[in-house]
């Protein structure tokens, strides 16, 4: 029965998401430019709630009921997983960015010229002092408050993926194949936005297919970590916090790039080298889960 519910859920979440993105977001983004219009970015934020909405619709259709133990926070005895979810992603993002800049030192620009140009293109002039204060404040905000500020929207996704899809999937298959399949599903769910330029832009080799593939790898890695946290606590909330932390900090290394030609590699954690520390943690988790 849960297999049928899982199939219904996936059909609904992909149907709702793809229809909304192709019929509403894509025409607006094509006309106004992806990332340049607040209305487009607002609609993209709405997409994050569609997995949770799909859970509710699935429960209504299948008459499953609305009891879901994964929604309880279960703080008692699990504080270390919450701390890891709150601060771990940022630390791993910094490590991944550091690896990227060690491999490509010519890409590191402490003067922030690329970001200065982005601001200038939008008519905003920043002095070096203003830029430094902006970076410090945004880094502090992302590190300490990002998980909380992003948690509302991230719950919309995590209730669907870690709170509903993964528990049903893991009733049938073991941890490793479940996170591989679940992560691939999560990555392909992002495909229309990646094609529009989400995370990677549009000017890179093999676009948009290589971007979709990289996003799928990123989702497999994060899905492994978030599923582990949820399984250990019996709650979706560490995954929500971890997701919020990633969303708030993944792009932080972009302040130090000389140009944006290596989007598939880094330094953002959505690039292969940028996510290297996250990959290592995911591999360790998978090895532990086999024992």
Domain map of the chain by residue range?
71-290
129-144 pLDDT per residue, tens: 888 888 888 888 888 8
Whether 109 has a pLDDT exceeding 80, the answer reads yes
This prediction has a pTM of 0.94
285 pLDDT above the threshold of 90: yes
How confident is the model over 196-201, as a mean pLDDT? 92
The CA R_g of the chain, rounded to the nearest whole Å, is: 19
Q: What is the DSSP letter of 162?
A: I
Give residue 67's pLDDT: 78
Burial degree of 244 (CB within 10 A; 0-12, 13-18, 19+): buried
pLDDT of residue 92: 97
Distance of CA 189 to the CA centre of its chain: 12
Q: How confident is the model at residue 1 (pLDDT cuts 50, 70, 90)?
A: low
CA angle at 245 for the pair 197 and 87, rounded to the nearest 5° = 145
> Nearest CA to 128 among 112, 106, 149, 144?
112
- pLDDT bracket for residue 116 (50, 70, 90): confident
Residue 12 scores a pLDDT above 70: yes
Does position 35 have pLDDT exceeding 80, yes or no?
A: no
**Where would I find the H helices in the chain?**
2-20, 26-32, 38-47, 50-62, 79-103, 113-121, 128-140, 146-149, 151-160, 166-169, 175-189, 191-196, 209-233, 237-249, 276-290
CB–CB of 212/195 below 8 Å?
Answer: yes
The residue-averaged pLDDT of 29-36 equals 76
- Over the stretch 217-234, which tens digit does the pLDDT of each residue have? 999 999 999 999 999 999
Q: Does 65 score more than 70 pLDDT?
A: yes
By the 8 A CB rule, do 29 and 40 touch?
yes
Give the pLDDT of residue 33: 73
């Amino acid at each position: 029965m849960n297999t049928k519910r899982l199939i219904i859920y996936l059909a609904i979440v992909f149907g709702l998401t793809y229809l909304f993105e192709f019929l509403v977001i894509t025409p607006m983004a094509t006309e106004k430019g992806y990332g340049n219009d607040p209305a487009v970015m607002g609609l993209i934020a709405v997409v994050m709630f569609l997995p949770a909405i799909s859970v509710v619709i699935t429960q209504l259709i299948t008459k499953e009921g609305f009891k879901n133990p994964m929604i309880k926070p279960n703080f008692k005895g699990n504080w270390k997983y919450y701390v890891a979810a709150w601060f771990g992603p940022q630390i791993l993002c910094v490590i991944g960015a550091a690896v990227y800049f060690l491999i490509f030192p010519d890409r590191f620009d402490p003067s922030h010229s690329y970001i200065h140009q982005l601001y200038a293109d939008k008519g905003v002039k920043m002095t070096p002092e203003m830029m430094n204060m902006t970076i410090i404040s945004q880094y502090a905000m992302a590190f300490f408050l990002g998980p909380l500020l992003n948690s509302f929207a991230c719950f919309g996704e995590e209730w669907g993926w870690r709170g509903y899809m993964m528990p049903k999937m893991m009733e049938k298959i073991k941890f490793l194949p479940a996170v591989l399949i679940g992560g691939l599903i999560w990555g392909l769910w992002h495909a229309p936005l990646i094609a529009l330029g989400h995370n990677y832009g549009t000017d890179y080799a093999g676009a948009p297919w290589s971007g979709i593939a990289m996003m799928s790898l990123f989702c497999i890695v994060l899905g492994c970590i978030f599923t582990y946290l949820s399984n250990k606590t019996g709650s979706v909330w560490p995954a929500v916090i971890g997701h919020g932390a990633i969303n708030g900090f993944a792009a932080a290394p972009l302040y130090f790039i000389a140009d944006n030609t290596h989007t598939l590699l880094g330094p953002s954690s959505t690039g292969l080298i940028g996510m290297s520390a996250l990959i290592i943690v995911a591999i360790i988790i998978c090895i532990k889960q086999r024992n």
